[in-house]
């Protein structure tokens, strides 16, 4: 007869083991069935799309090789998915934009696909074209959904697809590249506004003028916005019309490839800000009504339109839509050698409500039946595909609700993103600057917030991104200094407001960047305190480019204060990178005192000490640290960074013996810490 102990062991063997996501966070136990359900749904869908595993997701995501316009060894082939169409013609400057039987597509029997085969002489590189689509009860000119090149006429402002088959295809100089991720230091940027001139910048100008700055500043990745073609420049690239076409505003596909190639030569990864959360409503330029069925790509009924973004919501439950979007991911990785994606608007995808008006105060808010399981499945498959295509690829989720498991491994029950944006951090800094007096800043609160994340998910921390730089909002430097930036930012003419702003700008960045568990992000220009917001040309500002640019001349002018901030940012990143495997080092709190406004912590051999007090400096302030000697490697108060230079940073600091802590191998490190400053020391 089996003993009670043996029966218990048998029961334990039969009982299902907790999925790893739940094992890592016991508070998720009540929702384990929902987590398993999502995981199983993705497994089922992957099996369906891969013919029970007989092919890979990569094989499935190959629509860009089939659809669209392609040059063959002899002639051309054009294909489009348009199940509701009754007739499709290619029209263009090759046939005077008229319906021509020679350019009439044929429906492929038993499918919703259309095909046209042409001779080599029928199309030439650079020619413009569209589809003339007919359906029961209507017709219209359309840009093909899978086209790879779209251009806008300077006079008429009309968009057209363009035949693109250059005589000399781009030849990659660097075919293999592996991003550096420990830590990942991201420079968020926009090609068009990345120059001093009041105009739209180009891929080539960015390659020649901005990439060297990024490399010199110490960042190892750029995150490029607005790559996918969008009709309205002022949308910042978030109202996409042609998902496979790199924006022609900035140049040619070959020029984009040259930019990425040069970034890789400089050791810089290139992450694309990809928009799969919604699409522009436009019908002629976009997918809004490709062939008389407004729901071909998008959800029907109440879920068709995004109530806040004036855009259309993809139907992630349709295999053809999944095929389109997954192929889009693979296309940008393969054709342009992007190193990964930052997925925009993930919160909007996850919930029927798009997350609008929801507080998300408890775990139950993530599992109460208002989640879009189709979108969750799509995001999971996208991550699997991307890492199947390139195991070193980087995926980042822009997500504000805090959905658990977003950046956890798929095998553990997660979505499979490598990182999630730490969107709580910039919100915290804005709230702190706006609502608290300097003497009320609490180090304990700051330390808690910059480390507020799930233990099993890596994040990208940041003080501010492009969101905080847009017109109507304020960057950190402008919240701190405001109009005095225009009148007192010349060296020797700084007032107390400027001194305060420069000091806190550096401290805020240092405490945020030094507590990361994955990566750090900065929007271009913010590192040196760019003084103006971003406002793209629009009717309300007279279509001006004045604020759709970056004034690099300010940081280059050493008579002004900007370079102090830029120089500090560079040195801050250098110090962080100097600690081997920085992400893997534990953040060990040494001390905090909210009354003194002092915070100290260690990572590896680095000691970070902050004095947030606006008025109180401390002499011989003591901390218990590992026994040894310490050298100053960075000081926000150094004169070369616009500080007062009150401490002698050339001094080697030796710890002081205390018999009480001999067993702990710790002694007292005593420092002079000026008001409103921070110092980083390295243990020898």
> DSSP string covering 408-460, please?
S-GGGTS---SEEE-THHHHHHHHHHHH--GGG--HHHHHHHHT-S-TTS-EE
Write phi, then psi, for 340 (nearest 5 degrees). Answer: 150, -170
Choose among 286, 53, 44, 265: nearest CA to 161: 286
Is the alpha carbon torsion for 113, 117, 120, 124 positive or negative?
negative
The length of the chain in residues reads: 684
Q: Residues 188, 205, 273, 398: which is the catalytic one? A: 398
HSE-up of residue 552 (Cα within 13 Å, Cβ side): 14
To 10 degrees, what angle do helices 32-49 and 319-336 make?
80
Prior bond of 402 cis (ω within 30°):
no
Report how far residue 123's alpha carbon sits from residue 67's, in angstroms, rounded to the nearest whole number.
Answer: 17
Report how far residue 333's alpha carbon sits from residue 328's, in angstroms, rounded to the nearest whole number.
Answer: 9
Write phi, then psi, for 177 (nearest 5 degrees). Answer: -155, 135
Write phi, then psi, for 174 (nearest 5 degrees). Answer: -125, 105
Choose among 315, 319, 389: nearest CA to 49: 319
Beta-strand pair 606-611/598-603: antiparallel
Q: Count of CB atoms within 10 A of residue 476's CB? A: 22
Q: Residues 344, 371, 418, 449: which is the catalytic one? A: 344
Write phi, then psi, for 345 (nearest 5 degrees). Answer: 65, 35
Known catalytic residue at 392: no
Structure tokens at 255: 């020029």
- Which run of H or of E encompasses 626? strand 618-626
Residue found by looking up tokens 């007919």 in the block: 134
Report how far residue 248's alpha carbon sits from residue 263's, in angstroms, rounded to the nearest whole number.
Answer: 20
> DSSP string covering 91-125, please?
EETTTTTS--GGGB-EEPTTSSEEEEEE-GGG--T
Known catalytic residue at 535: no
Quote the Cα angle for 246-252-254, to 5°. 100
Over the range 254-277, which residues count as b (16 or more CB within 10 Å of their CB) and which as e? ebbbbbbbbbbeeebbbbbbbbbb
Choose among 597, 643, 616: nearest CA to 501: 643
Structure tokens at 246: 């790199």
Write phi, then psi, for 634 (nearest 5 degrees). Answer: -160, 135
Report how far residue 411's alpha carbon sits from residue 447's, in angstroms, rounded to the nearest whole number.
Answer: 32
Structure tokens at 600: 């100290």
Residue found by looking up tokens 């879009």 in the block: 372
Quick one: 197 exposed, middle or buried, by C-beta within 10 A (0-12, 13-18, 19+)?
A: exposed
Number of H helices, E strands in the chain: 19, 29
Residue found by looking up tokens 């490709």 in the block: 290
Choose among 12, 64, 494: nearest CA to 242: 64
HSE-up of residue 141 (Cα within 13 Å, Cβ side): 13
- Which run of H or of E encompasses 283? none
Residues with catalytic function: 344, 398
């Amino acid at each position: 007869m089996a003993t009670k102990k043996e029966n218990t062991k048998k029961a334990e063997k039969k009982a299902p083991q907790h999925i790893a996501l739940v094992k890592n966070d016991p508070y998720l136990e009540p929702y384990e069935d929902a987590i398993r359900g999502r995981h199983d749904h993705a497994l089922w869908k992957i099996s369906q799309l891969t013919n029970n595993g007989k092919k890979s997701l990569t094989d499935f995501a190959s629509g860009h090789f089939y659809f669209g316009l392609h040059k063959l060894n002899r002639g051309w082939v054009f294909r489009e998915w348009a199940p509701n169409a009754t007739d499709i013609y290619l029209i263009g400057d090759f046939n005077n934009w008229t319906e021509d039987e020679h350019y009439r597509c044929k429906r492929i029997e038993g499918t919703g696909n259309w095909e046209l085969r042409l001779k080599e002489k029928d199309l030439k590189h650079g020619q413009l074209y569209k589809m003339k689509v007919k359906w029961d009860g209507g017709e219209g000119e359309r840009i093909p959904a899978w086209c790879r090149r779209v251009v806008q006429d300077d006079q008429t402002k009309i968009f057209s697809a363009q035949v693109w088959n250059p005589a000399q295809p781009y030849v990659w100089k660097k075919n293999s590249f592996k991003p550096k991720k420990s830590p990942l230091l991201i420079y968020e940027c926009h090609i068009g506004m990345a120059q001093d001139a009041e105009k739209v910048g180009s891929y080539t100008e960015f390659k020649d003028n901005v990439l060297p700055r990024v490399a010199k500043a110490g960042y190892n990745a750029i995150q490029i916005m607005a790559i996918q073609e969008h009709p309205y420049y002022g949308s910042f690239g978030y109202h996409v019309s042609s998902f496979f076409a790199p924006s022609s505003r900035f140049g040619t596909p070959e020029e984009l490839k040259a930019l990425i190639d040069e970034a890789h030569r400089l050791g810089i990864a290139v992450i694309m800000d990809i928009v799969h959360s919604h699409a522009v409503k436009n019908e002629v330029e976009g997918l809004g009504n490709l062939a008389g069925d407004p729901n071909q790509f998008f959800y029907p009924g109440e879920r068709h339109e995004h109530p806040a973004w004036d855009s259309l919501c993809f139907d992630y439950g349709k295999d053809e839509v999944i095929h389109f979007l997954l192929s889009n991911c693979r296309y940008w990785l393969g054709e342009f050698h992007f190193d990964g994606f930052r997925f925009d608007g993930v919160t909007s995808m996850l919930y029927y409500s798009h997350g609008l008006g929801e507080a998300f105060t408890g775990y139950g808010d993530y599992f109460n039946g208002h989640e879009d399981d189709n979108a969750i499945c799509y995001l999971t498959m996208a991550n699997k595909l991307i890492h199947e295509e390139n195991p070193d690829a980087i995926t980042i989720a822009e997500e504000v609700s805090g959905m658990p498991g977003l950046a956890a491994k798929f095998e553990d029950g997660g979505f499979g993103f490598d990182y999630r944006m730490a969107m709580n951090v910039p919100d915290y800094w804005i709230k702190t600057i706006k609502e608290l007096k300097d003497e009320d800043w609490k180090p304990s609160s700051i330390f808690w917030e910059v480390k507020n994340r799930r233990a099993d998910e890596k994040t990208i921390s940041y003080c501010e991104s492009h969101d905080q730089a847009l017109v109507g909002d304020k960057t950190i430097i402008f919240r701190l200094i405001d109009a005095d930036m225009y009148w007192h930012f010349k060296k020797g003419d700084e007032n107390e407001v400027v001194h305060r702003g420069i000091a806190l700008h550096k401290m805020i960045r240092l405490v945020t960047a030094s507590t990361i568990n994955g990566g750090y992000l900065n929007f271009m220009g913010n590192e040196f305190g760019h003084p103006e917001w971003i406002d793209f040309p629009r009717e309300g500002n007279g279509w001006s480019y004045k604020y759709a640019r970056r004034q690099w001349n300010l940081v280059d002018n050493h008579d002004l204060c900007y370079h102090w901030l830029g120089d500090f940012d560079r040195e801050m990143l250098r110090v962080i990178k100097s600690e081997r495997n920085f992400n893997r080092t534990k953040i060990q709190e040494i001390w905090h005192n909210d009354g003194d406004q002092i915070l100290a912590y260690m990572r590896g051999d680095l000691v970070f000490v902050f004095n947030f007090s606006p008025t109180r400096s401390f002499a011989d302030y003591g901390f218990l640290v590992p026994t040894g000697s310490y050298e100053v490697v960075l000081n926000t108060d150094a004169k070369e960074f616009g500080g007062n230079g009150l401490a002698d940073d050339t001094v080697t600091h030796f710890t002081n013996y205390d018999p009480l802590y001999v067993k702990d191998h710790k002694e007292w490190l005593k420092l002079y810490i000026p008001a409103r400053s921070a110092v980083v020391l390295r243990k020898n």
